[in-house]
Amino acid sequence: MSFWDLIVSLLGQGLVITLLTTVLAAILALVLGFIAGLMRLSKNKLVRFLVSIYVEVFRGTSLLVQLFWIYFVLPMFGITMTALTAAVLAIGLNFGAYTSEVVRSGIQSVDKGQIEASIALNFTKVQRMKRIIIPQAFIIMLPNLGNQLIELFKSTSLVALITLTDLTYQANVLNATTLQTTQIFTALLVIYFVIAWPMTKGMKLLERKMTEGRM
């Protein structure tokens, strides 16, 4: 097969799964990250403690092991799921833990004067968070969130190891049948890069759009 044919073949079979995993896991990570990040700022010690357990466990162990655990071990406790669900869950939980730190520090780095102005204007705490603090924190977080999205995208190659037929999985299959190892994995490299690069650019663009004239 020509190099071009290899790329087309890989894309045709694996691209959708890789992108689907990326998007779903990123959404889950963002939601979990915000919830956990806000809970880490709670006044309630127990809440903070429980969240810190989640964060430390998922940051302190490898994503691959988490993936295996969710896909291969949970069924032994009667919890079975598809490879896609397991992949999204593992990656979402893992990146959610990191994102919660980004969210927490983003919120904490909003100028304290903003809280004071909100109190002086008689906002409730929830109104203050929603209207004043989080919108500003989000802008502060964007570069970090962008980096995490790229990391998350690249980490989806691990899902091949739980039989999910993503780009990497297809490359392995193709390699076994054609033995064009150099071309196949070079093609794979190129594909990941060509997807990641516009993602990076897109995040930069979004950052600029959101800060334009404001910060």
Partner 1 sequence: MSEPIVKYNNVTKYFDDLMVLDGIDFEIQPGEKVALVGPSGSGKTTFARLLMTLEEITDGTIEVEGDYLWHEEDSNGELKPASTEHLRKVRSNIGMVFQHFHLFPHMTVLENIIEAPVTVKGIDKKEAIKDGKEMLEKVGLSDKADTYPAQLSGGQKQRVAIARALVMKPKVLIFDEPTSALDPELVGEVLDVIKDIANQGETSMLLITHEMDFAREVADRIAFFDAGKIVEDGPPSEILYNPQAPRLKEFLERFMSTQASPE
Determine which residue in the list 135, 143, 198, 202 makes contact with partner 1, applying CB under 8 A.
135
By CB under 8 A, the residues from 114 to 133 that bind partner 1 are 114, 116-117, 119-124, 127, 131-132
Q: Show the binding pattern over residues 63-102: x = contacts partner 1 (CB under 8 A), - = does not.
A: ----------------------------------------
**Is 143 an interacting residue with respect to partner 1 (CB under 8 A)?**
no
Which part of the chain contacts partner 1 (CB under 8 A), choosing from 64-72, 110-118, 141-149, 177-185? 110-118
State in angstroms the smallest separation of the CB of 137 from partner 1.
10
Q: Closest CB to partner 1 among 122 and 177?
A: 122
Is residue 156 within 8 Å of 84, Cβ to Cβ? no
Burial 147-172 (b: 16+ CB within 10 A, else e): ebbbebbebbbbbbbbebbbbbbbbe
Task: Count CA atoms within 13 Å of residue 62 on its CB side.
Answer: 5
- Report which residue type is found at 142: L
Under 8 Å between Cβ of 102 and 141? yes
**DSSP secondary structure code for residue 76 in this structure:** G
Instruction: Give the footprint of partner 1 on this chain (CB under 8 A).
Output: 111, 113-114, 116-117, 119-124, 127, 131-132, 135-136, 139, 213-215
